Structure formats: structure tokens, C-alpha cells
Amino acid sequence: MAHSLNTRQIHLWRIAIYFFFALPGFSTATWISRTPTIRDALGASTNEMGWIIFGLATGSIIGLLGASHFIARFGGRFVMVSGLAIGSIGLITVGLGGSWLAQGVMVFLGLAIFGFGNGICDVAMNVEGTEVEHAAKKSLLTGFHAAFSAGTLIGAIAGAAAIKAGIPVHTHLAIAAVIVVLSIIYLYRMVPAGTAQDNKTGSGEPPMTTRERMAVWKEPRTILIGIVVLGMAFAEGSANDWLPLVIVDGYNVTPATGSFAFGLFVAAMTIGRALGGKLLDRFGRVAVLRTSALLAVAGLLIVIFGKSFGFAAVGVLLWGFGSAFGFPVGLSAAGDNPRGIAARVGAVTTLAYFAFLVGPPVLGIIGESVGLLRALLVVLVGVAIAGLLSHAARPLGEEQGGEASER
């Protein structure tokens, strides 16, 4: 399909996908920015709020598991646009349940809808990103993930402004949903229809059956790539959930300093992803993954065993930069074969989300016994394993050994 597009069409497709990555980040940050207000409106305890937020994980997992089948049937653009539209409905529902109606069950339902929409969109936009890479013959997926981070930052800033302006939760979330819907109405025409759809793979082979799509979970290469992504996503997710507390408890600094440390991590990861395309085109996947794993390991060691916050801050920067590449590079590698691209990208994305959703709570349980700093040793082991298995990301068809195989 991509071979029939001209240079301008590929360029517009690429621009659109940057925005399609930014929109889920924007909507997610919008919800997160209002969680304290929603909790207070519901009068929910920490435990009750935990169960309400579990709706998001439930919807996300269902969406992730079903995404490849939807993409194979309807194509990437349809699923991506539908996911964002469904997520917007969920966002509005959360807003109504979390302020105007003050119903915890409604917030749970809204988060489940929001999670489902974001789950199918996440797989579809990564499939689209991989297809754009093939069409443009450039490494772009790390840049697309940098756009997601930028969207998250914009959503967080807008959320802070909405809180300061006294805008009600339901109004704020409704405005964000309208922005997302208007954006996809404008952008969807730039994206080719039918990407990764079974009858449009361009391979000349028959479409994959449901059994064949499920069988990708048994492919050695896909499993190894999934383990790489699992380890690196664990490093990213643990920082997102625990880094401020790790720094505050481990180095006896103020909460503001802990937040500053998290800002360093996010900044390093965003810069790494923005530069990722050039690094990948110059050095190849395997070299970039191995180097990033080494940087993340070094950063974690400094944070775990550092004697001062200043030294630990250097470790946070290395940890952030090293965590930037595993998820997008793994997804790019999973999409090498156009036949079954949605199934393989979906499988790897599901493993990454497993690390994001399950890894941080496990880290908290371990940290309760040995302290959060020492608990990070588990993350370090995961990153080290990911680095050792980085050879799985070699592009298909390359011979073992030699410079070419390292790309």
C-alpha cells in the first residue's frame, strides 16, 4: 500500500501520526491532572480510589488484546480514529461522574471506556508509525513516542491552568474531548485507509487467520523482542510511578526536589526519543538498544548506591536517556514483516503495558520490605536482560555476524 503513495502523501501521513501520538498523551494527562479534585468530589478513600482507577487498567487490557483483530478487519486508521473517539466518550463520562453527578461507579465505567479506546488506539498508532517508517525509509518511531511525551506535557500544563482558573472538572474534560475529536476529524484524511488490513498487506499472501494471529505469541523472535520491551518498559514505568518517592525517601530531600528529579527523567527520555531517529539510522537498532541498556544500568546503579542527591541526579538523567529507546525500537522491530504486523505489534505492546501496569505495584511490594532504593535492583536486572537480548531486534533477513547484523 505504501509504495503507491507519493512523497507529499508520505510527508502528510508522517505529520498526522505525530499528532495522533500526541493526542492520547494529552487526554491521559488531562484525566490525571484532575484526579485529586475527582477524589475529593467522590469522597473516596485511597483504597476506593485505587479500585476506581482499576477501571482504566481493565479497559486498557481488553483493548490491547483485541486491537490486532480489529486492525486486521478494519485497518489501522479506522481503529486509531475509533479508539480516540471512544476514549473521548470515556473522558466525558469520567468528568460527569467525577464532579457533576459524583458517582464512583460512573467514573469507573468512564475510565474503562477511556482505557479501551486508548488501548486499541495505542496499538493502531504504533502500527501506523511502523508503516510510515517503511514508507519513508527512516527511523521515526522514537520521534513519534517523543510526540506522545510532548502531548502529555501540554495536557499537564493545560490541566494546571484549568485548576487555577477554577474550571469545573466536567467542563475541562469535555473541552479536552472536543479538542481530540476536532483534531481527528482534521487529521484522519492525511492517513491512508486500510493500513495493516488483512486484504491490503501488499505481500500477495493470503490474510492471516485468527489462529495465525494468536500464534505470533509462540514466535521466538517476537517473544525475545517482547522481553526486551518488557524490561525497558519496566524501567520507564517504575520511574513514572516511584521516582519522586525514591529520591525523597532515599536521599532525605523535599518533595519539590523529588518532583524536580522526575522532571529530569522525563526531559532526558523526551530528548532521547527526539534524537532517536538519527541515532538509529546512524548506528542501527542493536547498537542503540545495547548502549541504552548500559546507560540505564549505569544510571540505576548511581541512583541506588549514590551518596548525594547531586550524584543521584546524574544517575536519573542516564536512567531516563537509557529508558527512551526500548519501547519504540522494539515495536519497530516487531513490525518488520508486513504480514501480521498488527498481531506482532499488538503482542509487544501488550507486554509493555503489562510492565507499566503490573511492574510498579510489584516494586512497591518489594520496596515495603527492603526499601525503594534497593527494590530498584529488580528493575536493573530487567534492563540488563533486555540489553543481553537486544540482538533479537535485528531487521529480518540480515545475516548473523558482521556489521550488518548489528543493525
Q: What digits encode the pLDDT tens for the residues 212-244?
A: 778 888 889 999 999 999 999 889 888 877 887
SS3 276: helix
Q: What is the residue type of 211?
A: R
Q: Given a cut of 80, is residue 269 above it in pLDDT?
A: yes
**Whole-number percent of the chain with pLDDT over 70:** 93
Cell numbers found for residue 20: 495522533
Nearest-angstrom CA–CA distance, 304 and 405 = 34
pLDDT average, residue stretch 139-167:
87
Distance (Å) of CA 392 to CA 285, 350, 400: 10, 18, 11
**DSSP code string of 159-199:** HHHHHHHT--HHHHHHHHHHHHHHHHHHHGGGSPTTTT-GG
CB 36 within 8 A of CB 200: no
**DSSP code string of 41-101:** HHT--HHHHHHHHHHHHHHHHHHHHHHHHHHHHH-HHHHHHHHHHHHHHHHHHHHIIIIIS
Cell numbers found for residue 406: 548489528
Nearest-angstrom CA–CA distance, 109 and 88 = 13
Mean pLDDT, the chain, integer: 86
Q: Given a cut of 80, is residue 254 above it in pLDDT?
A: yes
Nearest-angstrom CA–CA distance, 200 and 256 = 52
Is the pTM higher than 0.85? no
Cell numbers found for residue 368: 515495603
SS3 291: helix
Residue 382: closest CA among 313, 326, 329: 326
Q: Given a cut of 50, is residue 406 above it in pLDDT?
A: no
Nearest-angstrom CA–CA distance, 151 and 24 = 7
DSSP state of 375: H
pLDDT digits (tens, 9 = 90+) for 158-200: 888 888 899 999 999 999 999 999 999 999 999 998 887 765 5
List the end-to-end C-alpha distance of the chain, in Å, as a whole number.
25
